[in-house]
Amino acid sequence: MAMKIPKGGFTQLLKDGYQHSQGLDEAVYRNIQATRDMAQITRTSLGPNGRNKLVVNHLEKLFVTSDAATIVRELEIQHPAAKLLVMASQRQEAEQGDGTNLVLVLGGELLSQAEKLLRMGLHPSDVIAGYTLSLAKTLTVLDELAVADAAVKDPSNRVALHTVVQSALASKQHGYERFLADLVVDASLHVMPSNPAAFNVDSVRVVKILGGSIHHSTVVKGMVFGRQPEGTVKSVRDAKVAVFTCPLDISQTETKGTVLLHNAGELLDFSKGEERQLESALKELADAGVNVVVTGSGVGELAQHFLDRYNMLSIKVLSKFDLRRLCRVIGATALARLGAPLPEEMGRCAAVEAIEIGSDRCTVFRQEAMGTKTSTIVLRGGTQNGIDDLERAIDDGVNTIKAIAKEAGQTGAGRVVAGAGAAEIEAARRLTQLAEKTAGLSQYAMKAFAQALEVVPRTLAENAGVDATEVLAQLHAAHASGQTTAGVDIEAVEAGVLDSVAAGIVDVLNVKRSAVKLAAQAALTILSVDQIIMSKQAGGPKVKPQQQQDWDEED
């Protein structure tokens, strides 16, 4: 007897609950639509005039920001194709620290242009081949567009660094970019190593203190902690620091025990024994020359009494990451038990003192008299959301210095390209010229790639509130006449262009190359998908809890 084969297509081969879609209409176009919708969310946040998004995450935490990396992280995108583009932007954030919005916007525009070609009848393979050629050509053109006069040959050159950082900060905090660039450059130069390629972004810390205005923000050589010392000693010069991860208190036994006391004298002797043991341990610290004690746990009242007696400053640092960073900065070793540290385990600092910033009391580990391994930017502001957004902008600025310093340390110069959309327009123009000389169907995809690059100046113009069509026409005319650094003038009342390099608007070449590469590779990956197979999600059905009505309504 022959076995009956059930009908029902591909899904009959799989378990119940699988979803399957294939072909242009069901898979490719839907993927492109999802990525285009997601890119549209962050596109309005591109550039100095980009608008903020108000995002409330699943923990009901409020975010008011134009930082694309924060937006897509808190949105929790679920669509598989859109997730590919999100992962590309996350890779850009991890490697370069900036340019995440460019990845999303350019990736979405590349797929939008590819959809037009597919609806015209081109096969996805032809589009992929054209995009692959275009990517290689675009990266070559970007290298050729590097502005030699604006290259940062010396990472300790304050003026050159300021120009590059100011351009990166202008897209996040327009109007405050000069002041913030001063803070970022000062903090970075304090910790710039002899080999610029070894610059570490963790060496620049940010401490946020509510109150005041942004112009009250300062840079401190050393580390700042947002709490005051525990005892009466508030300031120590030429500090010798001992760091402990254990609490400074009477030691507790691991097991419970019973002590039988016969009279009051034995009780007094028992408590005095514990006191003598704790006092001897802290006296050992004082005899070793320690005058500052840092602990990652609590400080008992009796221990604080003896610390004050021996004129030692004590402070709690509850974050283990800050404790490790402090050990690295002052050259100390964190000890797991209470006792006198060896000379090589003891840290040194020029001064440890308590200061008042606004209405908050803070403790500063200063290293102005000696070489510092860290610097702290103290940010002030009126709202928590505002300070958080300033911190994200400063993080982008520090990563920009890292990208410049790394390339300068390896090749001798940190290369930059003209900003304000100038590099994208010039790359699009040269790519279009190459497409005219290319035979076959790939030329259509190359022209589409060139048109997608124009999304950057077009978006900058749209977000600035000027006529994007007029701006693009002026840009094409300027670049055709040889002005390769002509970019969008966002300050113009009407549509206009400017020399972006002369105006000090430049972008780091490696950041731009990485963003274009990741956006194109994500678009190619999505275009190469022709079927979507999704299994049933684990877990039972999500039942919404019944809404509880008030007693008054039931009455």
Q: Say if residue 64 is in the same domain as residue 100.
A: yes
Q: Are 43 and 108 in contact (CB under 8 A)?
A: yes
CATH number at residue 29: 1.10.560.10
| Confidence tier at 67 by pLDDT (50, 70, 90) | confident
Q: Say if residue 237 is in the same domain as residue 355.
A: yes
Distance, CA of 479 to CA of 422 (rounded, Å)? 9
What's the Cα-to-Cα distance from 294 to each of 184, 208, 348, rounded to whole Å? 28, 22, 12
Residue 8 belongs to a domain:
no
User: Which two structure tokens, joined as six digits, stand for 85?
Assistant: 């583009």
Q: Quote the pTM value.
A: 0.82
Q: What is the pLDDT of residue 108?
A: 92
3-state secondary structure of 380: strand
Of 105, 201, 160, the residue nearest 396 (C-alpha)? 201
Q: Say if residue 430 is in the same domain as residue 504.
A: yes
Task: Centre a 10 Å sphere on the Cβ of residue 386 and count the other Cβ atoms it contains.
Answer: 17
Alpha helices in 44-173 (DSSP H): 68-75, 80-95, 100-120, 124-144, 158-170
Q: What is the pLDDT of residue 541?
A: 60
Beta bridge mates, 204: 375
Q: What is the pLDDT of residue 520?
A: 93
Q: Say if residue 278 is in the same domain as residue 426.
A: no
Q: What is the pLDDT of residue 447?
A: 92
Q: Decide if pLDDT at 125 tops 80.
A: yes
Q: Say if residue 135 is in the same domain as residue 29.
A: yes
The torsion region of residue 331 among left (phi > 0), alpha (psi -120 to 50) and beta comes to left
Q: Say if residue 182 is in the same domain as residue 239.
A: no
Q: Decide if pLDDT at 12 tops 70.
A: no
CATH number at residue 203: 3.30.260.10
Tell me the per-residue pLDDT of 218-267, one tens digit each, with 9 for 90 and over: 888 888 888 888 888 888 888 888 888 888 876 655 556 677 777 777 67
Distance, CA of 451 to CA of 442 (rounded, Å)? 14
Distance, CA of 394 to CA of 400 (rounded, Å)? 10
Distance, CA of 317 to CA of 336 (rounded, Å)? 15
Helices 384-411 & 177-190 angle (0-180, nearest 10) = 50
Q: Decide if pLDDT at 103 tops 90.
A: yes
Q: Report, in this order, helix, strand and coil percent for the chain, each rounded to 5.
A: 50, 15, 35
Residue 106 belongs to a domain:
yes
Q: Is the dihedral of CA 149, 155, 159, 160 positive or negative?
A: positive
Amino acid 270 reads: F
Distance, CA of 143 to CA of 411 (rounded, Å)? 14
Beta bridge mates, 357: 360
Residue 12 belongs to a domain:
no
Task: Centre a 10 Å sphere on the Cβ of residue 530 and count the other Cβ atoms it contains.
Answer: 13
Amino acid 417 reads: V
Distance, CA of 296 to CA of 388 (rounded, Å)? 26
Q: Decide if pLDDT at 14 tops 60.
A: yes
Domain boundary (360, 393, 414) is at 414
Q: Are 205 and 224 in contact (CB under 8 A)?
A: yes
Q: Say if residue 207 is in the same domain as residue 288.
A: no
Q: Say if residue 137 is in the same domain as residue 34.
A: yes
H/E element holding 363? strand 360-366
Share of the chain above pLDDT 70, in %: 88
Q: Decide if pLDDT at 1 tops 50.
A: no
Residue 541 belongs to a domain:
no
User: Which two structure tokens, joined as six digits, stand for 433?
Assistant: 């010229």
Give the N- to C-terminal CA distance of the chain in Å, as an integer.
69
Structural domain of 99: 19-148+418-533
Burial of residue 348, with CB atoms counted within 10 A of its CB: 0-12 exposed, 13-18 middle, 19 or more buried: middle
Pairing of strands 292-295, 313-316: parallel
Residue 555 belongs to a domain:
no
Using alpha carbons only, what angle is made at residue 357 by residues 354 and 358, rounded to the nearest 5 degrees? 140
Q: What is the pLDDT of residue 530?
A: 78
- The residue assigned the tokens 């134009």 is 66
Q: Say if residue 234 is in the same domain as residue 334.
A: yes
Distance, CA of 332 to CA of 342 (rounded, Å)? 10
Q: Give counts: helices (H), strands (E), the chain.
A: 18, 16
Q: Say if residue 246 is in the same domain as residue 376.
A: yes
Q: Are 332 and 326 in contact (CB under 8 A)?
A: yes
Task: Centre a 10 Å sphere on the Cβ of residue 476 and count the other Cβ atoms it contains.
Answer: 17
What is the CA 534 to chain-centroid distance, rounded? Answer: 32
Q: Are 208 and 387 in contact (CB under 8 A)?
A: yes
Distance, CA of 368 to CA of 364 (rounded, Å)? 11
Distance, CA of 151 to CA of 254 (rounded, Å)? 62
Q: Decide if pLDDT at 118 tops 70.
A: yes
Residue 481 belongs to a domain:
yes
Mean pLDDT on 145-164 = 84
CATH number at residue 324: 3.50.7.10
User: Which two structure tokens, joined as six digits, stand for 13?
Assistant: 């081969």
Mean pLDDT on 362-387 = 82
Q: Say if residue 230 is in the same domain as residue 374.
A: yes
Mean pLDDT on 102-131 = 91
3-state secondary structure of 468: helix
Q: Decide if pLDDT at 545 tops 70.
A: no
Q: Decide if pLDDT at 358 tops 80.
A: no
Q: Decide if pLDDT at 44 tops 80.
A: yes
Distance, CA of 360 to CA of 362 (rounded, Å)? 6
What's the Cα-to-Cα distance from 424 to each of 12, 75, 148, 445, rounded to whole Å? 49, 29, 18, 17
Q: What is the pLDDT of residue 198?
A: 85
| Confidence tier at 135 by pLDDT (50, 70, 90) | very high
Residue 11 belongs to a domain:
no
Q: What is the pLDDT of residue 555?
A: 44
Of 328, 320, 276, the residue nearest 295 (C-alpha)? 320
Q: Say if residue 138 is in the same domain as residue 169.
A: no
Pairing of strands 416-418, 506-508: antiparallel
Tell me the per-residue pLDDT of 70-85, one tens digit each, with 9 for 90 and over: 888 888 888 888 889 9
DSSP letter, residue 414: B
Residue 216 belongs to a domain:
no
Q: Number of folded domains in the chain?
A: 3
Amino acid 321 reads: F
